[in-house]
Homo-oligomer: A and B are copies of this chain.
Amino acid sequence: MIVLVPYAAARPKTRLADALDPAERESFSRAMLADVVDAVVDAGVEPTVVATESVELDARASVVVDDRPLSRAVNDRLAGAEEPTAVVMSDLALATPRVLSRLLDAGGDVVVAPGRGGGTNALVVRHPAFRVDYHGTSYLDHLRVARDVGASVREFDSMRLSTDIDEPADLVEVLLHTDGRARDWLLDAGFEVDAHDGRVGVRRER
């Protein structure tokens, strides 16, 4: 199994702008990337980080630089793949070795773990004709593409893999459900769980 972890190295996580400044967003996104890489390694596969520019990474992965748009960079690798290939997003801070092992073991020509809002957060591809299209509601698009090429599809139902950390409201999930670098990063930056009026979010002490 090949596991690709795409990483947009330049100006990552712009939708976290209300919570983190640009340098913080870069640093936090690297922490999430390292957590994802660690979880993949502990699931038994050394992943390849496909980064838009060179990144230093304190975790066990090979890094290749590919500055093409995400879908093209992934599809180029799917086209040449000689074994099953998984694509795991770099902001899945809640990923654990356990859920990734289940994902990599799940049967089906194409296994899709949806994210909130119709995204595709993780994917296993075992069919030679399947290609990705991460634009828009990619979850539905990927189901359709699989049907079109005659590939069997399996939905992978996981809260951990559905939770990409995109917006300030997502940060609380990192505090609640993880114990890796991304959580440490948030704690060091002064974030804590904040419950009020029946809603739970984060609050930051500066």
Q: Interface residues, chain A, CB within 8 Å of chain B?
A: 99, 113-114, 116-119, 135-137, 139-140, 157-163, 169, 172-173, 176-177, 193, 195, 198-201
Copies per complex?
2
Which chain B positions have C-beta within 8 A of A160? Answer: 157
A159 CB to closest chain B CB (Å) equals 4
Q: Contacts A118-B200, A160-B157 hold; do A140 and B99 have CB atoms under 8 A apart?
A: no
Which chain B positions have C-beta within 8 A of A199? Answer: 117
CA A169 to CA B118, docked complex, whole Å: 12
User: Among B137, B139, B159, B198, which residue has its beta carbon within 8 angstroms of that of A162?
Assistant: B159
Q: Identify 12 residue pairs between A and B in the complex whose beta-carbon atoms are under 8 Å apart, listed by A's number.
A: A114-B159, A114-B177, A116-B163, A117-B169, A117-B172, A117-B201, A118-B195, A137-B195, A140-B176, A157-B160, A158-B158, A159-B162
